Amino acid sequence: MKNTTLLVFSAHAGDFVWRGGGTIAKYIKNGADVHLVVMSYGIRGESNDLWKIEGQTKDGVREARKAEMEKAASILGVKNLEQWDWDDYHMYIDDNRLDRMVRKIREIRPDHILTHAEGDAFNADHELVSRKVFEASVLANSAGVQIEGLPHTKQQRIFGFEPHQTEISSFAPEVIIDITETYDLKRQAMECFQAQKHLIQYYSDRAFMRGNHARRCSGNQDYRYAESFTRRFPYVGGEFV
């Protein structure tokens, strides 16, 4: 992980924590260069508990979500954080926004991109971000797409978060990452999100369940907690791993 650059695109404020927090913390802990882009705060679609407070406003929700997210990112060890504050539910990504994503990829030049998986049955924003990150990567990698000062990048590996309703979204794990060493950090980061308290137990249970799958698939009994992802392109190497 030491010489690895990881770029994370999270549609909303909490997504990177619920679905990839243990892996992100693990990469940082082991010396990777990790960059996080939070595209929206999820003010409209992913802040239901905050909207139950009487007299709540959009600015009030933004402030709360921003504070929660920054605290969670800092617990995971994230130093490079960009907040784009786009509207959510439904998010739109026009050519200007796509261009911003392309520039970000060329600026960071990641080995891996972590974002949303292609299918997410109840979340159109997640599916949009998945598609647009892929499009942005294709443009970033194309020599003919010329941007002054930002030469084209080489093919990244793209991994997708496990969606919330796994089976309903036709999701099957393609990569399982052991997060035993950073699970405590993930738990602490999840506890920052008072706007989505109901998810803390849900994603604790899932990390435990994927830990079981990690042991079963690998034979390594030290794996206690894990996160799973899609993998957009096949593994390529000189041997089976």
- Contact residues toward Zn ion (CB under 5 A) are 11-12, 15
- Whole-number minimum distance, CB 42 to Zn ion, in Å? 6
Cis peptide leading into residue 90 (ω within 30°): yes
- Whole-number minimum distance, CB 88 to Zn ion, in Å? 8
Closer to Zn ion at the Cβ: 15 or 178?
15
- Whole-number minimum distance, CB 197 to Zn ion, in Å? 16
- Whole-number minimum distance, CB 163 to Zn ion, in Å? 10
Are the CB atoms for 42 and 84 separated by under 8 Å? no
Closer to Zn ion at the Cβ: 11 or 176?
11
Across 16-167, the runs of DSSP E, i.e. the strands, are 33-38, 80-83, 112-116, 157-161
Q: To 10 degrees, the CA torsion angle through 143, 107, 39, 144?
A: -10
**Number of residue whose CB is nearest Zn ion:** 12
Closer to Zn ion at the Cβ: 165 or 220?
165
Phi, psi of 165 (to 5 degrees): -100, 85
Are the CB atoms for 95 and 50 separated by under 8 Å? no
- Whole-number minimum distance, CB 85 to Zn ion, in Å? 15
Query: What is the spatial distance between Cα 189 and Cα 184, in angstroms, rounded to a whole number?
Result: 9
Closer to Zn ion at the Cβ: 12 or 106?
12
Closer to Zn ion at the Cβ: 106 or 164?
164
**b/e per residue 132-157 (b: at least 16 CB within 10 A):** bbbebbebbbeeeeeeeebebbeebb
